Structure 1
Amino acid sequence: MKIVNILESTRPIKSDIRNAYIDFSKMTLSLVAVVTDVIRDGRPVVGYGFNSNGRYGQGGLIRERFLPRLLEAEPASLLDETGDNLDPHRIWARMMINEKPGGHGERSVAVGTIDMAVWDAVAKIAGKPLYQLLAERYGNGTPDPRVFVYAAGGYYYPGKGLEGLQREMASYLERGYSVVKMKIGGATLAQDCERIESVLRILGPGQQLAVDANGRFDLATAIDYGRALSQYPLFWYEEAGDPLDYELQAKLGEVYAGPMATGENLFSMQDARNLIRHGGMRPDRDWLQFDCALSYGLVEYLRTLDMLKDHGWSPSRCIPHGGHQMSLAIAAGLGLGGNESYPDLFQPYGGFPDGVKVQSGYVTLPPLPGIGFEGKADLIAEMRALAG
């Protein structure tokens, strides 16, 4: 068996929304198809992947560096020891030939996108849901397809006032979410407190609000916000400062006693390890948001989970950024704490298979082979159009 082709298409996911740092008016992503010569139900097995929102499409890097390395490799060198399936670890190593250590920027997104498609293909060839395969290979053998999800939104939008923010958050709660998230840092502290209070007023028992500054603040502003936010029962205070400013994160933790979250813009195990070593993160209350689609894929994420275990962290403190089904499968297979969700944004790439509903903050994944993209009609139509 072998990979016969790898296809990439850069797709728009533009929107008029903005957070504290960027707007999404020109946002794109890469959609990738890894085509194999394995036939199932009369069709070649194709693995699909894409990168999360907030980073742009990686077509140039994929076509110029990573795709040629894989297609030029001896096919048998990319297979596992049985010779009956692809080996994601060998494929990852091949992609990273002649890449220097460090420099964990855009290339981590390109590799992560291809890696997602490879794992989708591997699980399909094995005839299993990816979460089942992961539980058997790297977990306790028994996946838990019931996964916590929270609704991310609350972006700044032209003409959107407090009532509009309340309506948006109420719509998520009505759809079964128990935790909702909104943006801060794109207005004044006083205005953001007013926005927070407007959402808190509509929450019922067992419902919570998280806030996300998208790395906007310097230390003084992060602390000012932290002191103001301390009066609210927040689920977490997310990414106050630059993601690589570990000292800022550590000093904020000395002032803000509530749960904090960060990590979505760290793109390697080494970056994640530096956060754990130097960022003052607290394993009893804080949350880690590493996103495999942006950080070299699941092969690297497995290394990150091993590192966390060595430092006394449970995988249950990980709730990945991105809102995609790949992280849902990882959460179900390896016992993560949950996953982000964008109920009304970045479609058709976000969300769940058709028919899956949020109930009391949780979704239950159906037993679909691979990541489960085939269960989402609008998404699989886009993917199959790419593969031809």
Structure 2
Amino acid sequence: MKIVEIKEKPVPISSSIKNAYIDFSKMDVSAVAVVTDVIRDGKPVIGYGFNSNGRYAPSGIINTRMIPRIMESKPADYLTDDGRNLDPFKLWKIMMTNEKPGGHGERSVAVGTIDMAIWDAVAKIEEKPLYQLLSERYGDGHPDDKVFVYAAGGYYQPGKDDTMLQNELKGYLDLGYSVVKMKIGNSLEEDIRRIEAALKVVPAGKNLAVDANGRLDLPTAIKYAEALEPYDLFWYEEPGDPLDYDLQNELGKHYKNTMATGENLFSMQDARNLIRYGGMRPDKDYLQFDCALSYGLVEYMKTLKMLKENGWSSRRCIPHGGHQMSLNIAAGLKLGGNESYPGIFEPFGGFADDIQIENGYVALPQIPGVGFETKAELMKVLRSVAQ
């Protein structure tokens, strides 16, 4: 067998929403199709992938470096030893040929996008759901049958008042979510007002998470911490710059409740530095590394191994991104959950069309691969990439 072709297409996911740092008016993602010569049901097996929101489409890196390296390789260089399937670890090494260490940036997004498509193809060739394949190969053989998911929203938006925020969050609860998240970081006075409005419609503080998207300096982050602590929130997320480990470490001395960070750390080494120097607490805090932004599942498994060696449970990982790839990893490798973006960043977010959220949990479809085929609107986009 071999890879016949790899195609990439930038797809817009623009909207009027904002967090405390960026707006999404020109946001796009890369969608990728890895076409193989393996035939199932009379059609070639195609693996699909895309990068998570918040990082723009890395089209240049994908098309000028990653795809050519794979296509210039011999099949024997990237197939399993028995030649019956793709080997994601060999393909990862091929993509990273002649890439210096460090400076991860958009390169990690490019690799993560193709890596997702490779794993989708691998599971389809094996004719198994990806979560089952992961559990059998790298877990205990018994994947979780459902995964905790929370609804991320509560963005700043022109004309959006507190009543609209309340209606949005209540809508998520009505969909079956038990935890909802909103943005903070514009100003403490404004955000406390918004949080108190939100707490009028969610059951308790433990059902509300807040996210500053790295906007705050240390003195401001501490002021927020002091104001937030009495609400006993689900978590206080990414208060400062993601690489400012000292800020995160110092903040932990001022905030006794749960914190979360990591969505903008893109390698095992960066994750390890957070664990070493960021003061994160393995009995209380959550880590949000996103495989689609951080060199893919191959690198994510290195990160999980590192975490275990440092006394962290995989259950403390709840990935950013709200996509089905992380949902499969969460079920197969027993993470703590997954993010979700109801009605936002469509059609890439969300889960199978016919599976409902129940009491904050979602089940996974019983089809080969990541499960993209269970999302009709998403498949229209992904199939257009392969044409």
SS at match of 2:252: helix
Residue of structure 1 in register with 2:8 after alignment: 8
Query: Deviation at 1:207?
Result: 6.0
Report whether the alignment pairs 1:197 with 2:185.
no
Alignment of 1:40-55 (within 5 A): 40-55=40-55
Deviations along 1:47-66, one digit per CA (max 9) or x if unpaired, are: 00000000000110000000
Query: Deviation at 1:204?
Result: 2.2
> What is the one-letter code of the residue matched to 2:43?
R
Query: Deviation at 1:205?
Result: 6.2
Residue of structure 1 in register with 2:23 after alignment: 23
Residue of structure 2 in register with 1:231 after alignment: 230
* Identity %, equivalent residues: 68
Distance, in Å, in 2 between the alignment partners of 1:145 and 1:293 is: 22
Deviations along 1:93-122, one digit per CA (max 9) or x if unpaired, are: 000000001011110000000000000000
> What is the one-letter code of the residue matched to 1:124?
K
RMSD of aligned C-alpha atoms?
0.8
> What is the one-letter code of the residue matched to 2:297?
L
Give the ranges of 4+ consecutive aligned residues of structure 1 lying more than 3 Å apart after TM superposition.
none
Report whether the alignment pairs 1:143 with 2:143.
yes
Distance, in Å, in 1 between the alignment partners of 2:163 and 2:54 is: 26
Query: Deviation at 1:37?
Result: 0.3
Deviations along 1:279-308, one digit per CA (max 9) or x if unpaired, are: 000000100000000000000000000000
Question: Is the Cα–Cα contact under 8 Å of residues 131 and 333 in structure 1 kept in the other structure?
Answer: yes
Alignment of 1:261-340 (within 5 A): 261-340=260-339
Deviations along 1:125-183, one digit per CA (max 9) or x if unpaired, are: 00000000000111111111300000000000001010000000000000000000000
Residue of structure 1 in register with 2:82 after alignment: 82
Query: Deviation at 1:231?
Result: 1.1
Residue of structure 1 in register with 2:95 after alignment: 95
> What is the one-letter code of the residue matched to 1:102?
G
> What is the one-letter code of the residue matched to 2:34?
V
Question: Is the Cα–Cα contact under 8 Å of residues 129 and 368 in structure 2 kept in the other structure?
Answer: yes
Distance, in Å, in 1 between the alignment partners of 2:100 and 2:145 is: 38
Query: Deviation at 1:272?
Result: 0.1
Question: Is the Cα–Cα contact under 8 Å of residues 169 and 202 in structure 2 kept in the other structure?
Answer: no
Query: Deviation at 1:365?
Result: 0.6
Q: Which runs of 5+ in 1 are unaligned?
A: none
Residue of structure 2 in register with 1:214 after alignment: 213
Q: Which runs of 5+ in 2 are unaligned?
A: none
Alignment of 1:343-382 (within 5 A): 343-382=342-381
SS at match of 1:363: strand
Structure-2 change in CA distance of 1:197 and 1:206 (3 Å): closer
> What is the one-letter code of the residue matched to 1:97?
T
Distance, in Å, in 1 between the alignment partners of 2:190 and 2:349 is: 30
Question: Is the Cα–Cα contact under 8 Å of residues 208 and 233 in structure 1 kept in the other structure?
Answer: no
Deviations along 1:244-285, one digit per CA (max 9) or x if unpaired, are: 000000000000000000000000000000000000000001
Task: Give the total of aligned pairs.
Answer: 387
Structure 1 length normalisation: TM-score?
0.99
